[in-house]
Amino acid sequence: MSGDERSVTVAGIDCGTNSIRLKIARVDAHGMHDIVPRVLRVIRLGQDVDKTHRFADEALERAYDAAREFAAILAGYQVDGLRFVATSATRDAANRDDFENGIERILGVRPEVIPGTEEADLSFLGATSVVPRDDLAAPFLVVDLGGGSTELVMGGDGVSSPDTQVQAAFSMNIGSVRMTERHLHTDPPTQDEIDAAIADIDEHIDEAFATVPAGRTRTIIGVSGTVTTMTALALGLKEYDHRAVDGVRMSCADAYAVDDRFLRMSREDRRAYKTIHPGRIDVVGGGALIWSRVLAKVSQAAETEHGETIDSYVASEHGLLDGIVLDYGRRLLARKA
């Protein structure tokens, strides 16, 4: 780095319905350079929120334990700023003030409960900031499949508008935790439960497609733990390896097969797969079902729109958390200008 080149060191925390993540990076005019790439803890903050509309006491304690761990990590670095972003579960919880106050006491910053539209924009920024866009056909549809919500974000075509520019976005109120708690009660789930979940998912996707022109999609980029976990399983990995998953192109046919297999598998049988994080064992089937339905319906829309089915997707380790850090770093740099 040249002596006059400005940079900032920032930390971002992404607190979702199922997991919480920390990233520390240096941001300059050339982009983002990892210092602590990612620390992930599964806290299930959204436990029963879909039903009670409140955070459970034990879920709050899990969140606070993770926050204390993150505070200890942050103490080892000199950061110019920390942004804590909370998403779907926190938007829905009546006692969110308790959560926000507790986090502020531990970390010194108050969580920002962002709307689904901003979550979508940041996920798109994170995914497209690292993907090798020269090798992929635009427009990109970024799918961020979380525990409580799933964002669909469409970018430009690279001709009339930049492929990194968001053209349309929609946040669906469906996710791996929410679908599991709402529909998949039996272990393994019954066909009636699966059918009810599919009807629910499809209704949300159809609503999203009224806003997001999914038929224009040329490349699907899937981000989040569900997508990367199911991709790792489709690759046949015995243990999760982010280097093998990040950026890989996976056929939709392989995705449908592995998604359906693990959806219909008992939790005890899933537990034998070290590829699946223990905190996802009980909800990964619900996430897999959402992922299969999104892939199928986007492909159908694309075939109707421009006569070509989409038979593959790109899995990415980069999404909302990367977008939080990169966006925050750029804003801090702009203030220093």
Residue 150: give its domain's CATH number.
3.30.420.150
When pLDDT is cut at 50, 70 and 90, the band that residue 106 belongs to is very high
The domain total for the chain is 2
Copy the structure tokens of residue 109: 């910053």
pLDDT in tens, 159-170: 999 998 999 999
Overall average pLDDT of the 82-98 stretch: 90
Please indicate, yes or no, if residue 337 is contained in any of the structural domains: no
Residue 132 pLDDT: 74
pTM confidence score: 0.93
Cα separation of 216 and 166, whole Å? 13
Do 152 and 297 belong to one domain? Answer: yes
Do 181 and 143 belong to one domain? Answer: yes
Please indicate, yes or no, if residue 76 is contained in any of the structural domains: yes
Please indicate, yes or no, if residue 334 is contained in any of the structural domains: no
Please indicate, yes or no, if residue 306 is contained in any of the structural domains: yes
Q: Residue 3, exposed/middle/buried by CB under 10 A (0-12, 13-18, 19+)?
A: exposed
Overall average pLDDT of the 1-19 stretch: 83
DSSP category for residue 106: H
- Residue 104, domain CATH: 3.30.420.40
pLDDT in tens, 274-305: 999 999 999 999 999 999 999 999 999 999 99
Residue 200 has pLDDT above 90, yes or no: yes
- What's the mean per-residue pLDDT of the chain? 94
Do 79 and 24 belong to one domain? Answer: yes
Do 93 and 176 belong to one domain? Answer: no
Do 43 and 154 belong to one domain? Answer: no
The residue whose two tokens read 């991709």 is: 231
Residue 20 has pLDDT above 90, yes or no: yes
Overall average pLDDT of the 35-55 stretch: 93
Spatial strand order of the sheet with 19-28 comes to 31-42, 19-28, 7-15, 81-86, 112-113
> What is the Cα gyration radius of the chain?
19
Overall average pLDDT of the 33-48 stretch: 94
Do 86 and 148 belong to one domain? Answer: no
67 Cβ partners below 8 Å, 6+ apart?
20, 102, 103, 106, 107
Helix (H) / strand (E) element for 99: namely helix 96-107
Do 19 and 104 belong to one domain? Answer: yes
Supply the range of the domain harboring residue 33: 7-115
End of a domain among 83, 115, 147?
115
Do 33 and 172 belong to one domain? Answer: no
